[in-house]
Amino acid sequence: MTDIMLSKSLAVFPGSFDPLTRGHMDIVTRALGLFSQVTVAVLDNPDKKTLFTLDERVELVRDSFKDFGESVRVERFRGLLVDFMKKSGAGVIIRGLRAITDYDYEAQMALMNKHLCQDIETVFLVTSEEYSYISSSLVRQVASLGGDISNLVSPVVMEALRNKF
Ligand code: ADP
């Protein structure tokens, strides 16, 4: 037990978002049907090499969700996710599951987070079929080779990728 109150109607969707894809956006949109507010928490991990800087990743998420109002918040976090959750008062972690290959790693993370904080639940949303093949790494790769990614990312992300390559 912890002595703080974590709200089960506040969810956090953590990730690298390097960059945000339509797969991520689909998870957030569907999570909003279950929770009153979703915070997209962009990971600040100096050890992980990313194409977009932390500021760029945060800005792209913010711009992509600009029409969603107060229901979608965008924050950055560093260190333990459970510490960020405790600070923000959110009691639910959202993760997306694309294929069974995601499961082992995701289950391990969920169990570890449970071990670190009993009051936090992880909820998995299964990806929509049309987005199940999309990953940030594939989007980066296809964009770098000049492939069409217009259906895979928001217009602001597409523009940002065009400027990178
Ligand atoms: P991480 O480095 O934490 O895996 P990502 O930005 O790659 O960060 O992914 C964040 C979350 O989004 C993960 O739960 C991942 O499974 C989910 N996700 C990624 N791509 C998709 C997709 N196409 N459909 C649904 N969920 C996705």
Domains, the chain, in order of start with CATH, read 7-164 (3.40.50.620)
Asked if residue 28 has its Cβ within 6 Å of ligand 1, the reply is no
**Could you confirm whether 164 is annotated as catalytic?**
no
Are the beta carbons of 22 and 134 closer than 8 angstroms?
yes
What is the phi/psi pair of residue 121, to 5°? Answer: -110, 145
Are the beta carbons of 139 and 152 closer than 8 angstroms?
yes
Pocket probe for ligand 1: among 30, 64, 95, the residue whose CB has the most ligand atoms within 8 Å is: 95
Asked if residue 125 has its Cβ within 6 Å of ligand 1, the reply is no
Are the beta carbons of 32 and 38 closer than 8 angstroms?
yes
For residue 118, report the distance from its CA to the centre of ligand 1, in Å: 23
**Could you confirm whether 24 is annotated as catalytic?**
yes
What is the phi/psi pair of residue 158, to 5°? Answer: -60, -45
Q: Which is catalytic among the residues 8, 30, 62, 98? A: 98
Q: Which is catalytic among the residues 22, 24, 57, 86? A: 24
Q: Facing residues of 75 across strands?
A: 41
Omega of the bond leading into 155 within 30 degrees of 0 (cis): no
The pLDDT profile of the chain, 165 residues, written as one tens digit per residue, is 555 689 999 999 999 999 999 999 999 999 999 999 999 999 999 898 999 999 999 999 999 999 999 999 999 999 999 999 999 999 999 999 988 888 999 999 999 999 999 999 999 999 899 998 999 999 999 999 999 999 999 999 999 999 998
